[in-house]
A and B are shown apart, each in its own frame.
Chain A
Amino acid sequence: MSPRSTQGAGEPAFSGPAADRPDPDAATENGRILVVDDTPFNRQLLSRLLRTIGHEPLEAGDGRAALELLRDPSIAPVDVILLDIVMPEMDGYETLAALKADPLLRDLPVIVISGVDELESVVRCIEMGAADYLPKSVDPAILRARIAASLGQKRLRDLEREAGERQAATNDVLAIMSRAAFDLQVVVDAVVQAATSLTAADFGVIYLHSDDGYRVAATAGGSPELDAWERAHPIPPARDTLVGRIALIGEAIRLDDVLADPEYAPSAGRQIGGYRSLVGVPIVRDGAVAGVLALARNVVRPFGPADTALATGFAEQAAIGLGNARLLETIDRQRAQLARFLSPQVAALVSSPDGESMLAGHRREITAMFCDLRNFTTFSETAEPEEVLGFLRLYHATIGALVVAHDGTLEHFAGDGIMVFFNDPELQVDHAERAVRLARDIRERFKDVAADWRRRGHVLEVGIGIATGYATMGRIGFEGRYDYGGVGNAIILASRLSGEAAPGEILISQRTHAAVDGALGAESAGERQLKGFSRPIAVYSVGPGAGVGPDMTANGPSEVAS
C-alpha cells in the first residue's frame, strides 16, 4: 500500500469551512499583488481592479511600508508588486533599489506605475530591474495581461528554485542514508529537517510506532518546550489527532485549520506549539503504518498537494531507513542467538558478506587441537551419572572459556573430546603458537580440577594432540543439521596424537613444532606408529609452561628449547 494524497471525494479530514477554501496550489492564475502608491485614490482604484480580475490586493502607502510588509513573516508572500514612483518617505527608486538588494525579495517582479509623461523614469526603473510598467490611466485588460505575464515569470522562477531546493534536499538525505544506512536516528533526523524546511513548516516531527502509541523519533523547528511535550505524550490511533487519524486510515491527511476541524481535540501540545495548518503522511512498512511524518504551520496557511507529495517522498525514505534498521536489528539478534550455539567466529562468518562462499568449502592451512580425557570411560562407568554430568559441565565451562580467550574456533564438544581449529575462519598468522598456548593453559587449569576429583577417588588427566597442515574447511553435514568443520590429514593426526598422549601430555606434530620454531619448550618425543599412517610419525612433547592465559609469555627465553 502506498500513501496517497487525500484530495477529492471521501476526504475525511476536510470538513466544515475548510472545504470552501481555495486550494493554494491550484491558484496558478491568481496572485497576491502589493499596490504601493501614496494616493488613496490610486490604491483604491488598483485594488478594486485587481480584485475584479481575480487577484488578491494588498496596499502600502510608501516604499518603507511596502518593505515592512514584504519582510513580515506573518504575512503570506506577495507575488507581484505594483510600484508608484513619486512617493513621500521612500520613493519608487529607493524602494526598487532596496528590493533588488535583498536576496529574499530580489526575484519579486515589480511593475512600475507611471504616467505617459514619465517615460524617462520608466526607463530608469527597468534598468534598475523592474519587470514592466503600467500607465497611470490603467486599462483593465492591460493590467490583467501585464500581471499575468509577471506572475507567470515568477511562478516559473519559483518552480525552478523549488525544484532545485527539493533536488538538493533529496540528494542530501540520500547521501546521509548511504553513509549511515543502518543508523535510524541519523536518517530520521535528516528526513524531518529536509521536509520541514522545504514545506516552509514551523514544526516537523517523525513519530514511530511503539507499544504505547506513536512516539517522537525526531523533530525539527519546534521550541524545546514543545519538543519535550511531544516526546512525553505518545499518540494512540484515534480520530482526534492528525497522527492518530493517519494511523487509523493509513493515508495522508491535510488539515487546513485544526481549530475548524470538528473531530480534532485541541491538546496541551497544540497550545504550546500554536499550530494551525497541518499535513501528515504515513511511513508505511509491510502494509502497516510504522510511523507518521507530520508538519505544522503556526498560522492558517494550508499545505497543498505539492507539500503532501514532497512529504510522501520523504516518508518513503524514512520507511527505507526504518527497514534497514530493523534488518540490522534482526541480524544482530540472530548473530547473538547463533553465538550461543556456535563458536563466535562461525556465528560471525554465517552473517558476513562472504559467509556463503566460506561455508561452501575452502582449503586452508590450519592448526587443529584435539583434547580428551584419560580414564574417562572408567570414570563414567564407576561414578554416578549426576557426578559425570556435573564433571562434564565443569570441564566444558573451563575449557570453553579458554578456547574463547585464545580465539580458537570450537568445532565440537563430544563427551570428553574437544576439537578446536586455529586460522579458520578467522586468519591467524600465529595459529600454531596459539594452539600450543591454549593446550598448555588447558593442562595447567585442569590440574586444579583433576586434584579435586582425585580426592574423590577418580584419576582424570587430559591428553592433547596438535597438528598443522592443509584441510578443507566449511559446512559439513546434511540439510537440517550442519556443522562447521574440516577434513584433512592434520585433523586426523591431531586426534591420533591426542590418543597417543600420556596423561597430562601435549604431543605436537613436526609441522607444528616447525611453525612455533622450537619455542614454547617442546622436545622431541621420538617417532610413533599411528593408526591410519603408513610411516612412523615424528612427535614432540610440550613441556610445562609457567603461565596461564594467551598473553602470558613470561615463560620466555630460559624455556626455549635449543
Chain B
Amino acid sequence: MTETPIDRGVFEALVEMTGGEMEFVDELVDTYLDDGRQQIDALREALATGDAAALVRPAHSLKSNSLNVGALGLGGLCRELEESARSGAVPDAADRVDAIEQGFSGVRTALLAERADRSEPAPGG
C-alpha cells in the first residue's frame, strides 16, 4: 500500500458538488461500492469465459465512477484494462483484474474509514 487510495481534492469536490450534504455523500459512496462490486463480478465472469470484449463495459463503468469519488489510482487501472480490452487482446487479464479487485478493496476501506472519521469525534482536540 503506497499512499491513500482516495484523492482528497477530488473527494472534497464531490462533497462540494452535493452542497456539503454528507448524508447524500454516504448514499453515493454506498452506491459506488455496491455498483463497484457488481462491476468486479462482471470482470471475473468475462475472465472465466475468456471474452475480452466483455471486459470493456465493467472496466469503463468502474473507471468513471472511481474517478468521480477520487479513486484516481483504481480509475487508472480500469482505464488501462478498458483500452486493452477494446483493442481485443489482454494477455495478462487475470493479473490486471486481481490488481483492480485489490485496488477496489483498498478504496472501500479508505471510504469507510473517512465516513467513520466523520461520525467519531476527532481524537484529541
* A48 near B64: Cβ-Cβ < 8 Å: no
Q: How many residues of A contact B (CB 8 A)?
A: 20
* A49 near B63: Cβ-Cβ < 8 Å: no
Interfacial chain A residues near B32, Cβ < 8 Å: 41
Contact residues of B between 43 and 72, Cβ < 8 Å to A: 56-57, 60-61, 63-65, 67-68
Q: Whose C-beta in chain A lies nearest to the C-beta of B66? A: A41
Residue A75 at the chain B interface, CB threshold 8 Å: no
* A48 near B24: Cβ-Cβ < 8 Å: yes
* B35 near A41: Cβ-Cβ < 8 Å: yes
Q: Is chain B's interface secondary structure helix, strand, loop, or mixed overall? A: helix
Interfacial chain A residues near B87, Cβ < 8 Å: none
Residue A407 at the chain B interface, CB threshold 8 Å: no
Interfacial chain B residues near A140, Cβ < 8 Å: 17
Q: How many residues of B contact A (CB 8 A)?
A: 22
* A45 near B28: Cβ-Cβ < 8 Å: yes
A45-B63 Cα distance, complex, nearest whole Å: 15
| Given contact pairs A41-B31, A137-B67, A48 touches B61 in the complex (Cβ within 8 A) | no
Q: Whose C-beta in chain A lies nearest to the C-beta of B69? A: A41
| Given contact pairs A45-B68, A117-B79, A137-B68, A39 touches B35 in the complex (Cβ within 8 A) | yes
* B57 near A88: Cβ-Cβ < 8 Å: yes
Q: Whose C-beta in chain B lies nearest to the C-beta of A136? A: B64
Residue A375 at the chain B interface, CB threshold 8 Å: no
Residue A52 at the chain B interface, CB threshold 8 Å: yes
Shortest distance between the CB of B41 and any CB in chain A (Å): 14
Shortest distance between the CB of B8 and any CB in chain A (Å): 15
Residue A38 at the chain B interface, CB threshold 8 Å: yes
Question: Which residue of A44, A115, A138 is within 8 Å of B63 (Cβ)?
Answer: A115
Shortest distance between the CB of A42 and any CB in chain B (Å): 7
Interfacial chain B residues near A49, Cβ < 8 Å: 17-18
Question: Which residue of B24, B56, B61 is within 8 Å of A39 (Cβ)?
Answer: B61
Shortest distance between the CB of B66 and any CB in chain A (Å): 10
* A136 near B67: Cβ-Cβ < 8 Å: yes
Q: Whose C-beta in chain A lies nearest to the C-beta of B62? A: A39
B63-87 contact mask (Cβ, 8 Å, vs A): 1 or 0? 1110110000000000100000000
Chain B interfacial positions (CB closer than 8 Å to A): 10, 13, 17-19, 24, 27-28, 31-32, 34-35, 56-57, 60-61, 63-65, 67-68, 79
Question: Lowest 6 CB-CB distances: which A-B pairs, in order?
Answer: A41-B65, A136-B64, A41-B31, A86-B60, A39-B61, A41-B32
27 A-B Cβ contacts within 8 A? Answer: A38-B57, A39-B61, A40-B31, A40-B34, A40-B35, A41-B68, A42-B64, A42-B65, A42-B68, A44-B27, A44-B28, A45-B17, A45-B28, A45-B68, A48-B18, A48-B24, A52-B19, A86-B57, A86-B60, A88-B57, A115-B64, A136-B67, A136-B68, A137-B10, A137-B13, A137-B68, A138-B17
Question: In the complex, given contacts A39-B35, A48-B24, what are 5 additional A-B residue pairs having Cβ atoms less than 8 angstroms apart?
Answer: A39-B61, A44-B31, A86-B60, A137-B10, A137-B68
